[in-house]
Structure 1
Amino acid sequence: MKRLVFIVLTVLAFNAAAQSQKEQYFKLTRAGFNEKNAFATTAFVEQFFRLPGNKGFDASIYRVEEILKKAGYVVQNKDEFEAPLTYRIEKRKMKNDAWEPVDASISIVGEKLPLQSFKTNRNMIPINCVSTPAEGVTAEVVFINKASKEDLAGKDLKGKIVFGDIPTQSLVSFAAKAGAIGALGFSLPDFNQPTKHTTSIQFNPMQRNVGIWALFLSYSSKEKLKDACLKGKVELKVNITTKTYPAEELTIVANVRGSIKPQERFVYSAHVQEPGANDNASGVGTLAEMARLTAQLVKGGKLKPQRSLTFLWGDEITSTRRYIVEDSTRAKGILWGMSLDMVGEDTEKTGGTFLLEKMPDPSAIWTRGEDKHSEWGAGEVKEKDLFPHYFNDFVFDICKEQGKFAKWMVKFNPFEGGSDHTPFLKNNIPGLLMWHFTDVFYHTDNDRIDKVSAKTMKNVGVSALTAAYTLITADENTASATVTQVKEDALARLKIEFELSKKAIAEGKSAKDEKHIVEVWGKWYVDALATIGKLAVDPKTTRVGSGIKVATLAVEKQTQEYLEQLGK
């Protein structure tokens, strides 16, 4: 009895110490994160249509460099551990020239105002589109309906512009073969609400070197042009100016050296390319302020990282994947990865909510109850793809704490993929995504700075930093508290899944299948608990292993009880 009381009191003491450490990091980040800085950087970056190698992308990288230098990061000369705070800009020759949009307009001949212009619709020019002659082109429009695309085979399109109520990319190759000089089309997913936000255009590429130009139309422009075409012959005046030039692809990497295990690290990634404010100028701005604050705390002695912390800005997925795979020694030390993508939403304007996209757990296979996929859509996840780890619950619980403190809505979604968290996962490194969805302005030219919330960026930054600071300074207390936390989360999840399966069986679904879901959840959490053993920096700790065994038994016992009840 005395031994049991001692163990309980010891665990409570460890948990209290770990909680005190986390609360200290919350206090530091809440006081130190300057949302005005994050917003100002976001506003600078969102001015540009950013693609690797182009001037807007490079200007964004160099603005981050200015922030790092001012914060105290020094240029890396030999290796990233030569000073407590270092940074480097990696430059790589690109296979293709950089592309940059400059200007465009479409006018119906005979009307004073343009149908559509680049000044208000900077996504109207497909990536890789060529310029028209400097004086522009004037040509007749040939309108097609969705159902009559095949009927164009017998029509004379030479020297004309093809216009359809279908995606522009679907028209381009056909129009080029038929001798047309250009193509105009329309396509927006329903979640962009095109009939409500009638001026929105999503950015997209077109095939290189197809021999014609192409433009995207907004819903309002498409409807107006369609009405004109249905009334009779229509001619358009089109001007397009784009630039291409040889360039280098830039990636900027900042590093905060750990004092005990510098080779082990937490890596943040925010992609620079894409032309939006929330997507992803907000990620660039938030991460830049996170790096600035980290330097301030390190220099002031308030943060003493035992593992390293890395900040990376570059080309989405490409830069992160390269950072991982190009140096196998470095990759072995990456213990956690986090992507900041679309983290500045003013949700009253954009819709949606903050989401933490989880690593593959069983909800990615059996999505039910409170679990919901976003409009992005589910990925192909099978049982062999599951990634049991404490990181899911550890970070989400921190986000929930900040949400409660700041009255900030926090939710999660099952794994879907598609951002900078995926390279981590593909290389067997725990990786999470902080983002917002559904956003009615996603990928459109209405994703501008007025849709960004500085307050949201602070909430994201505080949560992301508190999670990383806690992990890179983790000790036995942190590990023990995490065991307790994950066990509680496991038991809560098992109860939810049990109730869902119980209801499903009552409605006639297979008891065998429903029991299997609960069984997989139990195993996932047992395996997740096992990953906590490596959390403490000091490898000589012993109490953590004992705590994991006790927690594992509790999860296994509860799982078995639920399975027996479902089998009755």
Structure 2
Amino acid sequence: MKSKILLGLLLAGFSSYAQNSAEANFKLTRPGFKEQNAFATTAFVEKYFRLPGNTGFNASIHHVEDILKKAGFVEQKQNEFEAPLTYRIEKRAMKNKTWEPVNANIDIVGESQPLISFKTNRNMIPINCQSTPPEGITAEVIYIPKVVPAEIDKMDLKGKILFSETNPSRLLAIAAKAGAVGVLGYSMPTYTQPEIHQTSIQFGRMAANSDVWTLLLSFGAKEKLKASCLKGSTKLKVNIETKIYQAEELTIVANLKGSEKPDERFVFSAHVQEPGANDNASGVGTLAEMARLTAELYQAKKISPKRTLTFLWGDEIVSTKRYIVEDTTRAKGILWGMSLDMVGEDTKKTGGSFLIEKMPDPSAIWTRGTDKHTEWGAGDVGEKDLFPHYFNDFIFDICKTQGKFANWTVNYNPFEGGSDHTPFLQNKIPGLLMWHFTDVFYHTDNDRLDKVSPTEMKNVGISALTAAYTLISADENTATATVAQVKADALIRLKTEFDLSKKAIADGKPAADEKHIIEVWSKWYIDALATINKMPVKPETTRVGSTIKVATGEIEKQTKTYLEELK
């Protein structure tokens, strides 16, 4: 009789582990995620130049709403937990008017082909630029090789167009003071390789309500106009059509209610604004398919999450921050946050790599060995800003598992900031970013649908959902497995840092500084292990705590050995 009871308990434990393990969840997400759905949504969204309140932004929000409704989410009437699957569209009055581009052309008078056109370069019009008169403006263009305000003040620019190889926003005040009608400029970072991708323009912004219009040029257009100006007097005809109007800002939030601890949740965020296909129509499309699949699996009774899963689409950083800070009670229950930003890149075309941007760990301070920052650049991180947590290694290992399964390249970068993961971290909530960089088409009007890979979106969506499903229903088995995983990752990292510090000391670096790096890494991982105690939905025994204690002892022992060897 005892043996049968024991067998029954073992089987029950195994069943619980199977339901809450990443392996079991991969078996649901891999066949269930339809990459063509994600790609179709991306195609819809990327047609528009999207800013909060404008036509394209709102159309994208309502397109996601249609997907949610068809999947089985019902519109929230009273509260988000009135049904298992709910969604709501939040509407807010905007302090400033919204803006959208309609059309633009620059023609060199006397030439048959336009210098540049909105049809091929929709980023040529900076955000907030006003329209020219319907008939356009014809004026002489003055090329300024070097911006020296004192010299420009001496020029006769009244009724003329300023042109310089710099960001046009630098010339707005000078142009307005001199009575110029407009400014043409050029500003492309080197990593976009403008000499190769000569039609690219990164989108820009100018001050609202300016009396002077500005337009941006591609490398190719800039070189052609410069050559014309150097030959002699050049006139341009410029037409700009934009819309500026009062609007509401929309955010859409969907939830799958947790059955045991609904107030605890995992939150996904994908921002809608920005005009690109990868940035960030791909995030919108991937998250929409993740929500659709979640509803399908729940309705088929293949998942029954213990905690709530939340999906959010809105204005980058603004909507995510507001979701956290506007409801302090809700914020206390947010256990994990994930930003999906630029997740669909065809890496053979863009040059970027899939990355997980880690929460602040010591690699953000001491970036060495194989660790490296992207072209975005390092964030301002000190030891006081470190955020020890198992989330870094947990997500990276999930992605590596999918990478091995699908022959998908997975990398990471130290914390840098700048997307929807930062509001989570600023509010002491574990938050990570899934993205791609460095991308030669980043923020340019060549970031279009042909640079998007449905397969890449599928790998990201599968990894993100598998991780979320596992965490929101985590039990003690999930937690103890994570302890083993994080301990193994910690020992690998300590060995790597020890080798680097040993070499650094041999090269003349102070031993005390190198030992300090080892100590900080050790403490970071020990503190990260401690956070696993809160992973299980219902901690039933002291097993997780005991496992953490043993793992901590092993890390401390190894750390001591390394520190002694560095003497």
Place the TM-score, normalised by the shorter chain, in its bin.
Answer: over 0.9
Equivalent residue, structure 2, for 1:431? 431
Equivalent residue, structure 2, for 1:308? 308
Deviation at 1:132, TM superposition (A): 0.1
Task: Determine if the alignment matches structure 1 residue 25 to structure 2 residue 25.
Answer: yes
Deviation at 1:17, TM superposition (A): 3.6
Q: Does the CA contact (< 8 Å) of 2:126 and 2:205 recur in 1? A: yes
Equivalent residue, structure 2, for 1:5? none
Structure 1 residue matching 2:21: 3-state secondary structure:
helix
Change (3 A) 1:22 1:33: same
Structure 1 residue matching 2:566: 3-state secondary structure:
helix
Equivalent residue, structure 2, for 1:191? 191
> Structure 1: 5+ residue runs without aligned partners?
1-9
Task: Determine if the alignment matches structure 1 residue 152 to structure 2 residue 148.
Answer: no
Task: Determine if the alignment matches structure 1 residue 485 to structure 2 residue 471.
Answer: no
Equivalent residue, structure 2, for 1:455? 455
Deviation at 1:166, TM superposition (A): 1.1
Equivalent residue, structure 2, for 1:220? 220
Q: Does the CA contact (< 8 Å) of 1:351 and 1:440 recur in 2? A: yes
Equivalent residue, structure 2, for 1:336? 336
Q: Deviation per CA, 1:100-152, whole angstroms, max 9, x where unpaired?
A: 10000000000011000000000000000000000000001111012545411
> 1:349-364 to 2 correspondence within 5 Å?
349-364=349-364
Q: Does the CA contact (< 8 Å) of 1:15 and 1:481 recur in 2? A: no
Q: Does the CA contact (< 8 Å) of 1:14 and 1:480 recur in 2? A: no
The structure 1 segments of at least 4 consecutive aligned residues displaced by more than 2 Å after TM superposition are 13-21, 146-150
Q: Does the CA contact (< 8 Å) of 1:15 and 1:477 recur in 2? A: no
Deviation at 1:22, TM superposition (A): 1.4
Fraction of identical pairs, as percent: 72
Deviation at 1:158, TM superposition (A): 0.7
**Counterparts of 2:15 and 2:499 in 1: how far apart (Å)?**
30
Structure 1 residue matching 2:135: 3-state secondary structure:
coil
What is the identity, as a one-letter code, of the residue corresponding to 1:153? D
What is the identity, as a one-letter code, of the residue corresponding to 1:562? Y
**Counterparts of 2:384 and 2:496 in 1: how far apart (Å)?**
23
Equivalent residue, structure 2, for 1:367? 367
Q: Does the CA contact (< 8 Å) of 1:18 and 1:478 recur in 2? A: no
Q: Deviation per CA, 1:237-260, whole angstroms, max 9, x where unpaired?
A: 000000011100000000000000
Q: Deviation per CA, 1:27-82, whole angstroms, max 9, x where unpaired?
A: 11000000000000000000000000000000000000000000000000111111
Deviation at 1:16, TM superposition (A): 11
Deviation at 1:14, TM superposition (A): 7.8
What is the identity, as a one-letter code, of the residue corresponding to 2:469? Y
Equivalent residue, structure 2, for 1:494? 494
Deviation at 1:542, TM superposition (A): 1.3
Equivalent residue, structure 1, for 2:322? 322
Equivalent residue, structure 1, for 2:48? 48
**Counterparts of 1:14 and 1:66 in 2: how far apart (Å)?**
39
**Counterparts of 1:423 and 1:41 in 2: how far apart (Å)?**
26
> 1:66-145 to 2 correspondence within 5 Å?
66-145=66-145
Equivalent residue, structure 2, for 1:6? none
**Counterparts of 1:212 and 1:433 in 2: how far apart (Å)?**
38
**Counterparts of 1:562 and 1:155 in 2: how far apart (Å)?**
68
TM-score for both structures, normalised by structure 2: 0.97
Equivalent residue, structure 2, for 1:262? 262
**Counterparts of 1:149 and 1:188 in 2: how far apart (Å)?**
22
**Counterparts of 1:562 and 1:178 in 2: how far apart (Å)?**
67
> 1:525-540 to 2 correspondence within 5 Å?
525-540=525-540
**Counterparts of 1:333 and 1:146 in 2: how far apart (Å)?**
55
**Counterparts of 1:56 and 1:315 in 2: how far apart (Å)?**
13
Equivalent residue, structure 1, for 2:378? 378
Structure 2 residue matching 1:146: 3-state secondary structure:
coil
Equivalent residue, structure 1, for 2:3? none
TM-score for both structures, normalised by structure 1: 0.97
Q: Does the CA contact (< 8 Å) of 2:267 and 2:311 recur in 1? A: yes
Q: Does the CA contact (< 8 Å) of 2:149 and 2:174 recur in 1? A: no
Q: Deviation per CA, 1:521-564, whole angstroms, max 9, x where unpaired?
A: 00000000000001011133310010010011111111111011
Equivalent residue, structure 1, for 2:249? 249
Task: Determine if the alignment matches structure 1 residue 512 to structure 2 residue 488.
Answer: no
Equivalent residue, structure 1, for 2:558? 558
Using the TM superposition, name which of 18-27 and 329-338 deviates more: 18-27
> 1:289-308 to 2 correspondence within 5 Å?
289-308=289-308
Equivalent residue, structure 2, for 1:521? 521
Equivalent residue, structure 1, for 2:7? none
**Counterparts of 1:147 and 1:318 in 2: how far apart (Å)?**
35
**Counterparts of 1:513 and 1:146 in 2: how far apart (Å)?**
45
Q: Deviation per CA, 1:420-444, whole angstroms, max 9, x where unpaired?
A: 0000000000000000000000000
Task: Determine if the alignment matches structure 1 residue 281 to structure 2 residue 281.
Answer: yes
Q: Does the CA contact (< 8 Å) of 2:476 and 2:539 recur in 1? A: no
Alpha-carbon RMSD: 1.3
What is the identity, as a one-letter code, of the residue corresponding to 2:411? K
Q: Deviation per CA, 1:152-189, whole angstroms, max 9, x where unpaired?
A: 11011111000001111111121111110000000100
What is the identity, as a one-letter code, of the residue corresponding to 2:335? L
Q: Does the CA contact (< 8 Å) of 1:268 and 1:312 recur in 2? A: yes
What is the identity, as a one-letter code, of the residue corresponding to 2:529? L
Aligned length: 556
> Structure 2: 5+ residue runs without aligned partners?
1-9
